[in-house]
Chains A and B, each alone.
Chain A
Amino acid sequence: MTPATAGHVLVVGSKPGLTDSLRKAAVPALVVVGDGAAADRTVGPGVDVLPVTDPHDPGAVLAALARRPGTTVRGVAALDERSVVPAALLRSALGVPGTSPQVAIACRDKAVQKDAVRAAGLRVARAELVAPHEPHRVAAAVDACGGTVVVKPVDGVGAHLTTLARTTAQAGDAVARVHRAGRPALVEELVTGAEHHVDGWVGDGVVRFTSTARYRDNVLAVRSGAVVRSVLLPVEHPVQRAATTLAQDAVTALGLRTGVFHLEFFVEPDGGLVFSECGARPGGGFITQTVAARYGVDLRAVAVRLAVGEEVAAPTTVAEGSYGFTFLTADPGTVVRTPDTAAVLGLPGVLDVLLPFGPGQVVPDHRTSSGRRFGLALLTAPDDAALGERLDRTVEHVHRGTVVEAAP
């Protein structure tokens, strides 16, 4: 492919820290942001933005482009999960190269994805789709998936509406909740291994770079009060090598030839890897920042560069020490006072912190989804044990320093 050299890359899925990633990408970018009361505040000054009624509606994006004559789009980058399919549709509609809608669906829709990965011979949880017009299928789906199941929206993001169900009745309730949100539900076999994620990119069908990390608790445990935390595995760790093989097999099965990916999997007690899901976009939370801290490569910048057909070389240097990130927590309620960001940055090992809530804002209950949290912190330490202690101390510091007024 000969990349076009003039025009913008359209960036769908604005994120905190995006301004820095775009500077590193050094490609002219036009960032799709929310309009009106939903206006996006995560993009800094100096970034060209395209205000849109709904950033995830390709029709709305195309309408906004129509109101802005003279803009040439030469690539479309998806930076979050909900942007993957809209970005693919925009690529096709605008006639620019990149991941097609068919591949995007395989990377986005959990039912289509699991079928494709299973067909390629990878280990993956059994799963059954229960559409809103066929709720009577719940019992059969639970039976087919082994009794204890996980119920989730087929296009869910960040464990929202994801429920562990130990009985058919619980599964029925969980499926009904998903259906009330207007979505088909996926009933999945519960996999009990340790949850990991591998992040990287693929170019011309070949995985070029991977970074593997382990979640401290499986993400589903968030619903029981666990705090999402992830620590990078050592480069020589056997799971890191196995994860790279899994990632290659998975992206091949999904048809993803070029782009950044975030793949989650379980390591079972026998050491085997079980595929969970794979997104065609950079991981959420502080995954981009954590990978950048160790490897010096910004996965969002890579996504933007790949979107315009640039070749991106894998990093050759690896920073010493352990790296990980954690969600920061506060009790649900209205924020009265937050800790000073500079003070948090001054804690041992803290490299970056995000505290987006200010006084008067309402902190949601983080147990409702892995994507909701009070803040994020990226830390380093000489080893994993020290890193664990520092992560604990940072979470505790922020929690103690945050005053909220509980909802009546």
Chain B
Amino acid sequence: MNAPAALLLGWKAPAVRELDRLGAAVTCVVEPAREVPDDTPARVVRCHDPADASAVVAALARADVDLRSFTHVLSAKEFPLVAAAVLAAAVRAHGMPLDTAVALRDKLVQKQRVRAAGVVTATTVPLRSPGDLDALTGSVVVKPVAGGGSHDTFVLRPGDAAAEHRARDVLRSGAPFVAETFVDGAELHADGVVRDGEVRLLTVARYLDNLIDVNDGGTVASVVEPAREEPALHRAVLDLTTRVLHAVGHRDGIFHLEAFETSAGLVFGECAGRAGGGAITHAFRLGTGTDLHRAWALAALGLPDTSAPPADAGTTVVGQGRLVAPPGATPPSTADVLARDGVLWAEVHPGPLAADPRTGSDVASGWAVVTAPDPAAARASLRSLGAWFVEAAR
């Protein structure tokens, strides 16, 4: 059999690395200004928008690359997911089924499918113009139909004039938004691997603060709850995850799912067909011994995943969190963070933050993974690490 020829939309170094290790010839479509290491094994094609299928086809043609030469069209990133599926379908290459990509990317379609499968989730209504706000009742979460990183996502409560003003502003831009009924519960995320429609590996992590609180300076961090400590929670999340993945048709790959624990049980939030952001993949690897990028590449290429999780998989308590330096301050180095007690992994970008960290959960000076004897200690460790990071920044 010839080596797979993979077209990867959007730059993701671990995805390129794992596809290459599995023997695929990788062509990666990246933005014009994207810095790509000189020694990348991928052929690089520059395109003004790797998430725009038409632009990708044109960029390939200009680079004299025949779209039909690819056996796989893939994306390991959120935004180009549908474009990859469109192109895969267009040339009959392997890739995520179009239906699945749409359901994973479009929050309205996703909620429609999940609700139809009997999963409890927030009611979602489209917002097309500022006038649609007048029909809303109760507290809602306003978010883009196809957003990411909690950007432009906020709670709109009755009588909150500032939030209403913000909602009218974002809707006047013409971008499509939705309003979801506000779920009063603690947010968690489930990450793992699904093959042949069966969840093969699952971790459940509780956020320290709900992600929506990022607007008000909430902590962006989570701690994996070992299955042995919370068997009922794990069973409930496994059941929810299985039903959601089935509803959206995501049978082979990795997933990152968010849900809320409420007094009435779990309420589904949303689900992505990629690795979670922040340091979630690192926490997953350190907690389970499994590299989600490897799992993604195996599934993407249709190769069997024969690796067995180590015997102690899931027994190490890990947590991951965002590190944020004060405005204008220079953060401590990666080595400084790694020298702190309990830190297993860290990565800090030198220099001040380019944006206000309250605008999105992915705006960070860096990320870290910690370990501790139990989840409560891990939570305390993450909060203490975040506070130290602020103080140590100059």
Contact = CB atoms under 8 A, between A and B. Distances in A.
Contact of A86 (B32, B54, B61): B54
Contacts of B67: 101-102
B89 interface: yes
B87 A109 contact: no
Nearest to B112: A67
A36 B174 contact: yes
A182 B106 contact: no
A36 B108 contact: no
A154 B63 CA distance: 13
A111 B54 contact: no
A368 B300 CA distance: 46
A365 B68 CA distance: 42
A56 interface: yes
Given A101-B90, A132-B46, A154 B58 contact: yes
Interface stretch (A58-66, A167-175, A295-303, A351-359): A58-66
Contacts of A104: 57
A116 to B, nearest CB: 10
A37 B171 contact: yes
Interface string B108-152: 110010000000000000001100000000000000011000000
A133 B36 CA distance: 13
A154 B86 contact: no
B247 to A, nearest CB: 13
A38 interface: yes
B376 interface: no
A258 B129 CA distance: 40
Interface size class of B (residues with CB under 8 A): 35 or more
A89 B54 contact: yes
A74 interface: no
Contact of A37 (B46, B98, B174): B174
Nearest to B113: A66
Contacts of A248: none
Contacts of B129: 36-37
B172 interface: yes
B173 A37 contact: yes
Contact of A63 (B33, B54, B82, B172): B82
B43 to A, nearest CB: 15
A405 interface: no
A66 B171 CA distance: 24
Nearest to A38: B174
B49 interface: yes
Contacts of B108: 67
Contacts of B32: 131-133, 179, 182
Contacts of A105: 57-58, 61
A62 B82 contact: yes
B341 interface: no
A85 interface: yes
A327 B128 CA distance: 33
A93 B62 contact: no
B128 A36 contact: yes
B9 to A, nearest CB: 11
A205 B349 CA distance: 57
Interface string B317-359: 0000000000000000000000000000000000000000000
B19 interface: no
Contact of A53 (B46, B49, B83, B145): B145
A195 B217 CA distance: 60
Given A53-B176, A112-B62, A59 B109 contact: no
B61 to A, nearest CB: 5
Given A37-B128, A62-B102, A86 B53 contact: yes
B380 interface: no
Contacts of A132: 32-33, 46, 48
B64 to A, nearest CB: 9
Contacts of A183: 48
Interface string B288-330: 0000000000000000000000000000000000000000000
Contacts of A306: none
Nearest to B34: A133
B58 A109 contact: yes
A105 to B, nearest CB: 5
B109 A93 contact: no
A59 B82 contact: yes
Contacts of A102: 57, 61, 66-68
B91 interface: yes
Contacts of A29: none
Closest 6 CB pairs of A and B: A59-B82, A92-B90, A37-B174, A85-B54, A132-B32, A93-B89
14 contacts: A53-B145, A59-B82, A62-B98, A63-B82, A67-B108, A88-B90, A89-B90, A92-B90, A105-B58, A105-B61, A108-B54, A108-B58, A109-B61, A182-B48
Given A38-B174, A86-B53, 18 more contacts: A37-B129, A53-B145, A57-B53, A58-B54, A59-B82, A59-B101, A63-B105, A63-B109, A66-B103, A86-B54, A89-B87, A101-B67, A102-B61, A129-B62, A131-B46, A132-B46, A155-B58, A179-B32
Interface of A: 35-39, 53, 56-59, 62-63, 66-67, 85-86, 88-89, 92-93, 101-102, 104-106, 108-109, 111-112, 129, 131-133, 154-155, 179, 182-184
Interface of B: 32-33, 46, 48-49, 52-55, 57-58, 61-62, 66-68, 82-83, 85-87, 89-91, 98-99, 101-103, 105-106, 108-109, 112, 128-129, 145-146, 171-176
